[in-house]
Structures are given as structure tokens and as C-alpha cells.
């Protein structure tokens, strides 16, 4: 699904629905990959930092909010496959963090990573999301969406220039694993 398709699908769901929020995040993730591919210097670095932060919140939300429900609605095998993909994504992000964003190695690795993330999102959109929409009430999906929104607000998806020197802002530019921990804490393990 393209970012435009994801936004259109999200718009058809009630406001605050967890699936709508995750579709919107998928669209934002695609946009950040495009900014990284086209960017240079500080702009590319900033887009990568934003991608890391958004993926931390997104993956933590899926792990802690969506997957327990998806095991029941889409099946345990489907949920476990998505969890395995996210574990691999965390490993790849750790490697990407150690690279210079201007290097040819980074360009190659981020392009490969984008393909893996896109494939992962398409599986979710095709398998997990429809099962959750079909088998969970609007109230249940809204409640899950509220938990996701809390995580987004408590674990910002990019460092804010006005918070320079702030431990919270610095934590968001740290390694991906630290960002995942912060997002998990915000959701409430």
C-alpha cells in the first residue's frame, strides 16, 4: 500500500481507532524513508533520527498493544511472524546507527531496510489489521488507540530543538534500544 492509500484507509475508520493510527504511522514512516533517500547532510540525519523515534513508538505499540490481540484475531503464527520481523528490524537499526548517513554503505543498507519495513507493513495491513477491525469492537479499537496516543505523546518521535541539553531529548537521539525502552515504558509494559 502506498502512503496515500494508507491515509485513505485510515480516514475510513473512526477517529482514534488503533488501526487508523497505525496506518497513519505507516504513511509517516514511508515519508521519512523518502526524505532519507533524497536528503543530504543534516536534513538526512534529522530524517533518520525521526524515523528511529517513530519506529520505536510504532514497534513498541504493536508489540504491547496490537500483538496480544492479533494472536487471537489473526492467529498466533501471524503475530509471531510480525514480532520476528520487528526483532530483525531492531537488529538492523542498531547497525544503521553505527554508520555515517552520508556513506554508500548506509545508502545501500537503508534501501534494503526500507524494503523489509514495507513488506512488514503490507503483511500487517493485509492480515492483522483486517482481523482486528472485524473481530474487535470500535470501543476496543479506540481504547487501544488511546494507549498508542499516550505513547506518542510521552515518547516524542524526534528530538525537539528547544529541548537541547534535555535528558529526554537526548534519550530520543540515543540508540534505538533505548528509544524502544522509553516507548514501552510510556505504553505501560
Mean per-residue pLDDT, 147-168: 55
122-143 residue pLDDT tens = 999 999 999 999 999 999 999 9
Mean per-residue pLDDT, 5-29: 95
φ/ψ bin of 48: left (φ > 0), alpha (ψ from -120 to 50), beta (otherwise): alpha
> In 10 A of CB 174, how many CB atoms?
14
- Using a 10 angstrom Cβ sphere, with 0-12 exposed, 13-18 middle and 19 or more buried, the burial of residue 151 is buried
Q: Taking the CA of residue 187 as centre, how many other CA atoms within 13 Å lie in the half-sphere pointing to its CB?
A: 22
- What pLDDT shows up at residue 156? 47
Helix (H, G, I), strand (E, B) or coil at 50: helix
Name the least confident of 42-56, 83-97, 173-187.
173-187
Mean per-residue pLDDT, 31-53: 95
Number of independent structural domains in the chain: 1
User: Angle between the 138-154 and 41-61 helix axes, to the nearest 10 degrees?
Assistant: 140
pTM of the model: 0.81
Domain that holds residue 31: 3-187
Mean per-residue pLDDT, 44-55: 93
Question: Which DSSP category does 162 fall into?
Answer: G
Contacts with 82 (C-beta within 8 Å, 6 or more apart), sequence order: 62, 67, 70, 120, 123, 124, 128
Q: Are 145 and 18 in contact (CB under 8 A)?
A: yes
57-109 residue pLDDT tens = 888 888 888 999 999 999 999 989 998 998 898 889 889 999 999 999 999 99
What band does 150 get if pLDDT is binned at 50, 70 and 90? confident
Supply the CATH number for residue 148's domain. 1.20.120
Q: Taking the CA of residue 119 as centre, how many other CA atoms within 13 Å lie in the half-sphere pointing to its CB?
A: 12
More reliable by pLDDT, 117 or 87 = 117
Check whether 116 has a pLDDT greater than 80.
Answer: yes
Average pLDDT of the chain to the nearest whole number: 85
1-16 residue pLDDT tens = 888 999 999 999 999 9
Check whether 177 has a pLDDT greater than 70.
Answer: no
Contacts with 99 (C-beta within 8 Å, 6 or more apart), sequence order: 105, 106, 109
Amino acid at each position: 500500500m502506498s502512503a496515500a492509500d494508507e491515509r485513505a484507509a485510515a480516514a475510513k475508520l473512526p477517529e482514534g481507532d488503533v488501526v487508523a493510527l497505525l496506518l497513519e504511522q505507516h504513511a509517516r514512516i514511508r515519508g521519512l524513508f523518502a526524505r532519507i533517500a533524497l536528503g543530504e547532510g543534516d536534513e538526512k540525519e534529522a530524517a533518520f533520527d525521526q524515523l528511529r523515534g517513530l519506529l520505536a513508538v510504532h514497534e513498541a505499540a504493536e508489540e504491547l498493544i496490537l500483538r496480544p490481540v492479533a494472536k487471537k484475531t489473526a492467529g498466533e503464527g501471524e503475530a509471531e511472524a510480525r514480532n520476528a520481523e520487528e526483532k530483525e528490524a531492531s537488529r538492523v537499526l542498531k547497525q544503521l546507527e553505527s554508520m555515517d548517513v552520508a556513506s554508500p554503505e548506509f545508502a545501500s543498507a537503508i534501501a534494503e531496510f526500507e524494503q523489509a519495513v514495507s513488506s512488514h507493513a503490507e503483511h500487517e495491513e493485509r492480515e492483522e489489521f483486517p482481523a482486528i477491525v472485524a473481530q474487535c469492537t470500535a470501543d476496543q479499537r479506540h481504547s487501544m488507540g488511546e494507549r498508542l496516543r499516550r505513547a506518542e505523546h510521552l515518547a516524542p518521535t524526534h528530538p525537539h530543538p528547544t529541548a537541547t541539553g534535555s535528558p529526554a531529548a537526548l534519550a530520543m537521539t540515543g540508540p534505538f534500544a533505548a528509544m524502544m525502552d522509553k516507548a514501552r515504558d510510556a505504553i505501560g509494559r
